[in-house]
């Protein structure tokens, strides 16, 4: 596979075209074709000289991966990609009436290894910047419409791949033109990363994926909790709010008999009593047949949400889209891996 031109910034492309005897402004034209128009081949860049197009086609690819499959349902489309080192990862576009939202992966597998998450069954490596932004370029070309919302909620822990994460955010906001208010980074709770994003990208939204408000139970469900205890995570969230003035979204996935009781509601209320948060309560999408027993019913979930609301907190029951194509939260790549 040829090296991806996505790895080059505008100065790098300027140097390349200049070495070939062309004006440096041609680099900006290449950038516009790729990032703003979603062009996936150099031949179609009609305002470039034919010889330059041929040179770029012979020496660079645009995407740093190949598309293996796409899966569609009424409100989602999922893409399965293969990297140049034969690794598999996915991303998902979620359609809403007024917009499309792209769920980006930042790692292949996930080192956090949450017990009930299919993405964490294995961890291979971080995705490079060009592999992350490439998901956007491909998705925009595929769906033939603008994507105005980005959530880093696919495979991996974004705050354990900060260099590539921040470079991607910079391009999304500064070159592509997506508002940072329409970008959300989800984390399992990496205190240093939470503080870093508060200082570096204060307008970007933050979501905490919280399986339980109980520290001992959290250590069973999320092994990384032994390194990053909940008390440290909460303190970093307080600092995040102080720095950014943003509220934090709490992504709380219900597990029947584990974290969906009245006692759990009271602990959540106590934990976030003086912090501006919004609770996204999520119905669990089983990663396999054995975990179906942990699904909380919609009626029980609504009662859970109602109790949170009665405390004065904003809360909403979110039904993850894409379950029919294994594209909902926690199911990425699982079907493909098990079929090998």
What pLDDT, in 10s, does the model give residues 217-273? 999 998 888 899 999 999 999 999 999 999 999 999 999 999 999 999 999 999 999
Residues 54 and 78 in one domain: no
Phi-psi region of 312 (alpha: psi -120 to 50; beta: other; left: phi over 0): left
Co-location of 51 and 138 in the same domain: no
The rounded distance, in Å, linking the Cα atoms of 219 and 229 is 8
Task: Write the CATH number for 30.
Answer: 1.10.150.530
**Mean pLDDT throughout 192-219?**
96
Mean pLDDT lowest among 10-24, 40-54, 107-121, 268-282: 107-121
Q: Are 37 and 20 in contact (CB under 8 A)?
A: no
Mean per-residue pLDDT, 8-37 = 96
Are 49 and 170 in the same domain? no
337 is catalytic: no
- 123 and 194 in a single domain? The answer is yes
Please say if the pLDDT value at position 313 is more than 50.
yes
Residue 288 has pLDDT above 90, yes or no: no
Whether the Cβ atoms of residue 309 and residue 277 lie closer than 8 Å to each other: no
Strands 76-83 and 88-96: antiparallel
Alpha helices in the chain (DSSP H): 10-19, 26-31, 50-59, 129-143, 162-171, 191-200, 215-221, 230-244, 262-271, 298-310, 334-339
Are residues 30 and 100 both part of a single domain? Answer: no
Arithmetic mean of pLDDT, 313-317: 96
The answer on pLDDT for 72 being more than 70 is: yes
Looking at the fold, whether 32 and 88 belong to one and the same domain comes out as no
Residue 74 confidence class, pLDDT cut points 50, 70, 90: confident
Mean of pLDDT values over 197-226: 94
pLDDT band at 322 (very low <50, low <70, confident <90, very high): low
What b/e string do you get for 289-324 counting C-beta neighbours within 10 Å, with b at 16 or more?
A: eebeebbbeeeebeebbebbeeeebebebbebbbbe
48/82 same-domain check: no
Q: Which of 90, 130, 157, 251 is catalytic?
A: 90
- Is 332 a residue whose pLDDT tops 60? no
**For the ranges 138-152, 159-173, 260-274, 310-324, which has the lowest average pLDDT?**
310-324
In the predicted structure, residue 328 carries a pLDDT above the cut 60: no
Least confident of 2-16, 30-44, 63-77, 198-212: 63-77
Q: Are residues 107 and 214 located together in one domain of the fold?
A: yes
The enclosing domain of 119 has a CATH number of: 3.20.20.70
Q: Which residue has the higher pLDDT, 73 or 167?
A: 167
Count how many domains the chain has.
2
- Same domain for 168 and 285, yes or no, is yes
Same domain, 37 and 174: no
Across residues 112-131, what is the average pLDDT?
Answer: 88
Q: Are residues 206 and 325 in the same domain?
A: yes
What is the average pLDDT across 106-110?
93
State the chain's mean pLDDT as an integer: 92
> Span 24-53, mean pLDDT?
96
Q: What is the pLDDT of residue 141?
A: 92
Flag whether pLDDT at 337 surpasses 90: no
Q: Is 137 left (phi over 0), alpha (psi -120 to 50) or beta?
A: alpha
Query: Given this model, what pLDDT does residue 330 score?
Result: 47
pLDDT at 325: 53
Alpha-carbon gap, residue 134 to 132, rounded angstroms: 5
Concerning whether 329 is annotated as a catalytic residue, the answer is yes
| Mean pLDDT along residues 176-191 | 97
Task: Please report the pLDDT score of residue 326 as a whole number.
Answer: 57
Three-state SS for 23-47 is CCCHHHHHHHHHHHCCCCCCCCCCC
Angle of helix 191-200 versus helix 162-171 axis, rounded to 10: 30
Claim to verify: residue 219 and residue 89 sit in the same structural domain = yes
- Asked whether residue 319 carries a pLDDT value surpassing 80, the answer given is no
Helix, strand, or coil here: 253? strand
Query: Which residue did the predictor score with more confidence, 287 or 163?
Result: 163
Give 3-state DSSP helix, strand, coil % of the chain, rounded to 5. Answer: 45, 20, 35
Predicted confidence at residue 324, as pLDDT, reads 57
* Domain of residue 80, residue span: 65-339
pLDDT of 182 over the 60 cut: yes
Residue 314's pLDDT band (cuts 50, 70, 90): very high
3-state class (DSSP) for residue 194 = helix
- Among 103, 110, 114, 329, the active-site one is 329
Average pLDDT value for residue range 276-301: 88
pLDDT of residue 1: 85
């Amino acid at each position: 596979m040829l090296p991806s031109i996505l790895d080059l910034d505008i100065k790098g492309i300027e140097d390349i075209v200049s070495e070939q005897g062309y004006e440096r402004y041609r680099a900006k034209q290449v950038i516009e074709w790729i990032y703003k128009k979603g062009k996936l081949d150099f031949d179609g860049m009609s305002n470039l000289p034919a010889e330059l197009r041929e040179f770029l086609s012979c020496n660079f690819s645009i995407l740093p991966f190949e598309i293996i499959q796409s899966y569609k349902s009424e409100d989602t489309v999922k893409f399965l990609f293969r990297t140049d080192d034969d690794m598999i990862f996915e991303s998902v576009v979620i359609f809403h009436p007024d917009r499309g939202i792209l769920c980006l992966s930042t790692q292949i597998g996930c080192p956090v290894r949450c017990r009930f998450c299919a993405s964490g069954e294995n961890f291979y490596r971080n995705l490079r910047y060009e592999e992350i932004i490439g998901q956007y370029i491909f998705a925009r070309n595929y769906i033939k419409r603008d994507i105005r919302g980005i959530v880093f909620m696919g495979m991996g822990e974004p705050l354990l791949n900060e260099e590539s994460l921040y470079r991607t955010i910079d391009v999304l906001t500064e070159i592509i033109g997506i508002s940072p208010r329409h970008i959300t980074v989800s984390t399992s709770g990496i205190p240093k990363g939470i503080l870093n994003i508060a200082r570096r990208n204060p307008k970007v939204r933050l979501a905490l994926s919280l399986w339980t408000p109980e520290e001992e139970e959290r250590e069973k469900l999320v092994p990384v909790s032994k390194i990053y205890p909940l008390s440290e995570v909460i303190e970093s969230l307080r600092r995040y709010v102080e720095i950014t003035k943003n509220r934090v979204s709490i992504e709380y996935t219900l597990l029947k008999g584990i974290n969906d009781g009245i006692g759990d509601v009271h602990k959540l209320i106590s934990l976030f009593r003086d912090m501006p948060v919004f609770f996204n309560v999520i119905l669990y999408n089983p990663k396999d047949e054995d975990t179906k027993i942990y699904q909380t019913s919609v009626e029980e979930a609504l009662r859970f949400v109602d109790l949170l609301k009665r405390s004065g907190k904003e809360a909403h029951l979110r039904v993850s889209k894409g379950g029919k194509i294994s594209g909902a939260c926690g199911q990425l790549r699982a079907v493909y891996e098990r079929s090998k």
